[in-house]
Amino acid sequence: MRSVPTPPLPSDLEIARAATLLPIADVAAAAGLPADRIEPYGRHVAKIDLAAIEDLQDRPRAKYVVITAVTPTPLGEGKTTTSVGLAQGLQHIGHRAILALRQPSMGPTFGIKGGAAGAGHSQVVPMETLNLHLTGDFHAVTAAHNLLAAMVDNHLHFGNDLGLDPRAIAWRRVMDVNDRSLRNIVSGLGQRQDGIPQQAGFDITAASEVMVILALASSLKDLRERLGRIVVGYTYAGQPVTAEDLKAAGAMAVMMKQALKPNLMQTTENGPVLIHAGPFGNIATGNSSVVADRIGIRAADYLLTEAGFGADMGAERFFNLKCRAAGLTPDAAVLVVTVRALKTHSGRHRVVAGRPLPPEMVAENPDDVRAGLPNLLKHIAIVRAFGVSPVVAVNRFPADHDSEIDVIRAAAQEAGARAAVATHVADGGPGAAELAGALVAACDETHTFTPTYPPEAPIVEKITAVATKVYGADGVDLSPTAAKDLARYEALGYGTLPVVIAKTHLSISHDPNLKGAPTGWRLPVREVRLAAGAGYVYAICGDIRTMPGLSRHPGAERIDLDEDGQVVGLS
């Protein structure tokens, strides 16, 4: 029997528009942010000057919490809305909370995913502003990235003094629109003055190394230095050619100067939200910015930040890369789980993005949930391996049944994790009060943060450590190309960089068809690529698309303006 029968909610857009918003200066003041560091963008959005980091240094440090999830279905399990709801829930039980989130990419907004402002009564508002441009940070990343691409082509056109091998150029162009036809192109066609013909292509802006640099930079000086270290390709002699070599990094930094300032918004219950950066979750860090966290850590009792996809993806990179870059250590992790995710991991159901759940999946069946529990238990173990206390948040949907929820709660508690059911989408902050209480208790526990590998370890040892200790693989199989890549990076002085494993988010393994907590497999590494400016290498495992395509009926078909000039069709 369903214990929470609820009438249909108004649309997310209707709820967002009905919210009573505070002037952004009032939101900043409530968070203790200095008024002279706030740069308003209209009534309800502002930029925060990075000088606020120093201004806040004498304030107490907030508890630092990452929100992650089990291996998601293609529909997503509601990490963003749970993050918003948890911030509201903490506020509801008397704690000051600030939330740090990535900025949504417009490609998925106009594609199949829709917006990423949360849902129901737990949203970031104004949701249209958040999902459509915001303050232009993505456009700054796009422009800076493409300026470098233009400088590469210009250098080739005017004699190629650096000896850059046109066949070894690794710097593609980007745009914030899903367009599969631009994945692989030939540029420079036409007359001689139109450039040198070469194979090229586009990625989505969120996949740009410039976006990751925006997320990891700790200051304007650090941003400038990281941009200069970007490797665009290699000479005929095999030496790296950087943005600094091309004299492009300075102009790129100028274009990124304003974008480095985090954006301030608010929840539907007027709590402060820092929105900044949006690196791709598969091939990049999948986390919001270091500077946003360095501001938020002194602006509340609890700083909540969301990591992309499951604990094996965004949370692993949060722990192993972002925390080190930020100089911060986490106090707890919230692990979002849904009934539908565990039913999917039973192997008995298939979820397709853009389609409703099959009727048999909505029917009460605690055995299906029980069959999917290994995935939840594996993610609990992943979090615990970092020395962090996990809190399991059951993001409850109206069609979920008490018996199914009971299975999840009992399994989490048996595994030694706190568990709470949250109904924040329907109920806002009060619906996340139980979850907030569980988090407060978890943050009070003593723990020792333990990254997966030491920073000085060789790259191959780091890849192996993530594969075996986090994913549960039996080992790693390097292709000849990957082994050659690693040897080259070591010879060039990049041999101890951190690693990102670029793989599917639909399985803890590299194979999206392996559900639950697969065992008895090895991680195949096809190639290893360098992100020298961001400061890591990424191992490609499987077929990772860095430029999505549109569906047969993308969201762009439904988004429009009504007679009053209001946005309609945005979800």
Token pair listed for 194: 């139109």
Q: Domain 459-540 maps to which CATH number in 1.10.10.10, 3.10.410.10, 3.40.50.620, 2.30.40.10?
A: 3.10.410.10
Look at residue 345 in the predicted model and tell me its pLDDT: 95
Look at residue 553 in the predicted model and tell me its pLDDT: 82
**In the predicted model, what is the mean pLDDT of residues 382-393?**
97
CA dihedral for 353, 135, 207, 313, sign (positive or negative): negative
- The closest alpha carbon to 297, from 278, 258, 323, belongs to 323
Distance CA 488, CA 495 (A): 9
* Bridge partners, 124 (sequence order): 267
Q: How sure is the predictor about 4, in pLDDT bands with cuts at 50, 70 and 90? A: very low
Look at residue 2 in the predicted model and tell me its pLDDT: 46
pLDDT above 50 (res 344): yes
pLDDT above 60 (res 1): no
Percentage of the chain with pLDDT > 90?
Answer: 84
- The closest alpha carbon to 469, from 319, 306, 308, belongs to 319
Q: Domain 137-256 maps to which CATH number in 3.40.50.970, 3.40.50.300, 3.30.1510.10, 2.40.100.10?
A: 3.30.1510.10
- The closest alpha carbon to 499, from 468, 477, 533, 529, belongs to 529
What's the mean per-residue pLDDT of the chain? 94
CA 471 vs CA 415, 445, 452, 477: distances in Å: 18, 26, 11, 14
Distance CA 375, CA 231 (A): 38
Whether 459-540 and 12-135+262-338+418-443 are alike in CATH topology: the answer is no
Q: Are 289 and 421 in contact (CB under 8 A)?
A: no
CA 544 vs CA 19, 48, 231, 282: distances in Å: 39, 35, 21, 7
Which residue has better confidence, 545 or 428?
Answer: 428
- Cβ-count burial 449-468 (b if 16+ within 10 Å, e if not): eebbbeeebebbebbbbbbb
* Bridge partners, 156 (sequence order): none
Look at residue 404 in the predicted model and tell me its pLDDT: 97
Q: How sure is the predictor about 6, in pLDDT bands with cuts at 50, 70 and 90? A: low
Look at residue 113 in the predicted model and tell me its pLDDT: 65
pLDDT digits (tens, 9 = 90+) for 99-150: 999 999 988 888 776 677 899 999 999 999 999 999 999 999 999 999 999 9
Look at residue 493 in the predicted model and tell me its pLDDT: 96
pLDDT digits (tens, 9 = 90+) for 182-236: 999 999 999 988 888 889 999 999 999 999 999 999 999 999 999 999 999 999 9
Distance CA 554, CA 562 (A): 19
Q: Count CB neighbours of 433 within 10 A.
A: 22
CA 48 vs CA 343, 386, 547: distances in Å: 43, 32, 31
* Bridge partners, 477 (sequence order): 524
Residue type, 107: G
Distance CA 121, CA 179 (A): 33
SS3 449: coil
Extents of the domains making up the chain? 12-135+262-338+418-443, 137-256, 459-540
pLDDT digits (tens, 9 = 90+) for 297-325: 999 999 999 999 999 999 999 999 999 99
Q: Residue 228 has what DSSP assignment?
A: H
Question: SS3 letters for 498-543?
Answer: CEEEECCCCCCCCCCCCCCCCCCCCEEECEEEEECCCCEEEEECCC
Which residue has better confidence, 179 or 140?
Answer: 140
CATH number at 12-135+262-338+418-443 = 3.40.50.300
Instruction: Please provide residue 306's backbone torsions phi and psi, each rounded to the nearest 5 degrees.
Output: -100, 140
**In the predicted model, what is the mean pLDDT of residues 62-70?**
98
Question: Which residue carries 């214990």 as its tokens?
Answer: 3
Look at residue 114 in the predicted model and tell me its pLDDT: 67
Q: Are 270 and 27 in contact (CB under 8 A)?
A: yes
Strands (E), 342-473: 390-395, 418-422
pLDDT digits (tens, 9 = 90+) for 323-340: 999 999 999 999 999 999
